Chain A
Amino acid sequence: MKGLLKVFLGVLTAIGGFVDIGDLVANAVVGARFGLSLAWVLVAGVVGICLFADMSGRVAAVTGRGTFDLVRERLGPRAGLANLVASTFVTFLTLAAEIGGVALAFELATSVSYLLFVPLVAFLVWFVIWRMPFEKMEQAFGLAGLCLLAFAVALWQLGPDWGELFRQASHPSVPDGEGHPTYWFYAISLFGAAMTPYEVFFFSSGAVEEGWTRKDLKTERLNVYVGFPLGGVLSLAIAATSALVLLPQGIEVDHLDQVALPTVLALGKIGLAVLIVGFVAATFGAALETALSTGYSLAQYLGWQWGKRTAPKDAARFHAVVLVAVVLGAMLVLTTLDPVKVTEYSLVFSAIALPLTYFPILVVANDPEYMAESANGRVVNALATGYLVLLTVVALAAIPLMIATKAGQ
């Protein structure tokens, strides 16, 4: 049991990366429009994030260094700064969206306008970061996030033709009525979302917060290989339920309430209640992850003391940045900007940050001066090199595709 409790850093990281507010809706959109024909992207994303999260976690355990530390060290101050600006912007936009997302989940439970919840949510996010111990935080939100498994239960209850689902997933094709650019735009969005940089910032810094050392490499691996595949399974379950229920009805998903609809039809009020708990936990977890990541990456780039483990007075600038980010994020949502749309556009900045984040991780994970015998093996290196090329292609293709398809419309 104690060993099991140790996997929640990975679980929380993955939930924040795979089923945050943007992804909850995006997975349902994709399911309702493309069925399971984009499932392969999720699989590719899970493998990719596992590879690089494992590397960043390993480096953190062996050297005690967070990922952004390495980014600056290997790319130099200029390219490091370009990455810092791009990735902080993505992370901040996502944070704003998540604050809105938690509020939207509260709205589903109470039907009170989400805007009224925004200040409360922002305060709670900050308060948890200020006061709640790191381990407690990841256990509470990781565990509650597991409520999203209701999607998987609903899928099973809906009694699909599993063979047909598998056939769709394993023989991807662009459905009638959808253009190739749109299909590829969504493919890139899902892939980018699966590999979004704040996951490795959070995971590696979390490893440092938990005080992992070389002795914890097993725990680190367990976290990666339990957490991220779980995130992938949840995403698939969301896509599959909406493919089964919403696709035949020609429903275009725009809101969180529609994401829940198949599960409500399958599991009723209890399913809905569990799902809303899951929504709150996942979006709140993602808000914590992004708020902390903003602080982590900035502090690591500039060499400040960071972390929840030290008293706030000893990491004053780090805590100041987190506080400011949460306040600004809440203000951005209060302008009534649609939280879900916000995450769609953050893709552009993500595209710049992806290669600039994963390349230094790969280099350092191979550096014998840092890693000694824990350096990457040949298979990991071969795969990771392939992903690096892929990420670069994705980064180059993202912006033209986004313009050509008007962000997938």
Chain B
Amino acid sequence: MRGSDLLGAPVVSRSGAALGRVLDVRLVQDGPLLGAFAAMRVEGLVVGHRRTSARLGYDRVEAHGPWLVATVVRWLARDNRYLPWEQASLEGHRVVSGLDELLRVPFIT
């Protein structure tokens, strides 16, 4: 599987309601050892409708940016939600969510 298979994939609930698309994939570096480092394993998916809102880096606590830009980007990202990987299953090109109500996106600290 490639990263691009996950990014942009539609996310639906079990009842088939559209929840958005995968905007980013949250990784935690505690997987199996690969060389000197632990592998980065998938922890969850950031789900939303606006592609640019995730990759500008305003969902990190310490990123402040110019006030106006930060405010606008955070406003664009207001509907972004988080789907923990254990609640997600891949069906074809779609991601099916085990939760009907997604979680708030946790800040990366």
Contacts and interface: CB of A to CB of B under 8 A. Distances in A.
B20 to A, nearest CB: 17
B62 A381 contact: no
A363 interface: yes
A102 B10 CA distance: 55
Contacts of B62: 368
B6 to A, nearest CB: 15
Interface in A376-396: 376, 381-382, 384-385, 388
A366 B55 contact: no
A362 B52 contact: no
B66 interface: yes
Nearest to A368: B62
B68 A385 contact: yes
Nearest to A375: B64
B51 A362 contact: no
A362 B69 contact: yes
Given A363-B57, A366-B63, A76 B69 contact: no
Contacts, number: 42
B67 interface: yes
Interface in A71-90: 74-76, 79
A385 B67 contact: yes
Contact of B64 (A366, A382, A384): A366
Chain A contact residues: helix, strand, loop or mixed: helix
A366 B52 contact: no
A76 B52 contact: yes
Interface string A281-300: 00000000000000000000
B63 A368 contact: yes
B65 interface: yes
B63 A367 contact: yes
Given A76-B52, A366-B65, A367-B65, 5 more contacts: A363-B56, A366-B66, A381-B65, A385-B69, A388-B69
* Shortest 8 CB-CB contacts between residues of A and residues of B: A381-B66, A366-B65, A385-B66, A385-B68, A368-B62, A363-B56, A367-B57, A76-B55
Interface of A: 74-76, 79, 359, 362-363, 366-369, 376, 381-382, 384-385, 388
22 contacts: A74-B57, A75-B52, A76-B51, A76-B52, A76-B55, A79-B52, A359-B69, A362-B66, A362-B69, A363-B56, A363-B57, A363-B65, A366-B65, A368-B62, A369-B63, A376-B66, A381-B66, A381-B67, A382-B66, A385-B68, A385-B69, A388-B69
